[in-house]
Amino acid sequence: MNNYFGCNFKQLLNKYRVEYAKSLLLEGTYSTSSLFRKCGFASQSVFYAAFHKIVGASPLQFLYKAPSGHRKRFKVLL
């Protein structure tokens, strides 16, 4: 797995989870406070750490940087 994907299983799984989270954020169907459960993370802090490591920004920063045509209305609940 390391040779083929260039990362271990946990890193690969987190990449897919974060990509799913990005799509849900852009759709505007979930609040940032409940998104981590929908994407399979055990806690919000682990989700934020993985998201920041992969995307380079927090979920809210990602939303603010996304072009307005690519996102729908979103909820911000902290």
Average pLDDT value for residue range 11-23: 94
Is there a contact between 63 and 74 (Cβ–Cβ < 8 Å)?
Answer: yes
User: For 22-50, what is each residue's pLDDT tens digit?
Assistant: 999 888 777 778 899 999 999 999 999 99
From 16, 49, 54, 11, select the one nearest 2 (Cα to Cα).
Answer: 11
Is there a contact between 60 and 51 (Cβ–Cβ < 8 Å)?
Answer: no
Asked if the model's pLDDT at residue 68 lies above 70, the reply is no
Q: Looking at residue 73, what is its pLDDT? A: 52
Q: Looking at residue 10, what is its pLDDT? A: 93
The whole-model pTM stands at 0.80
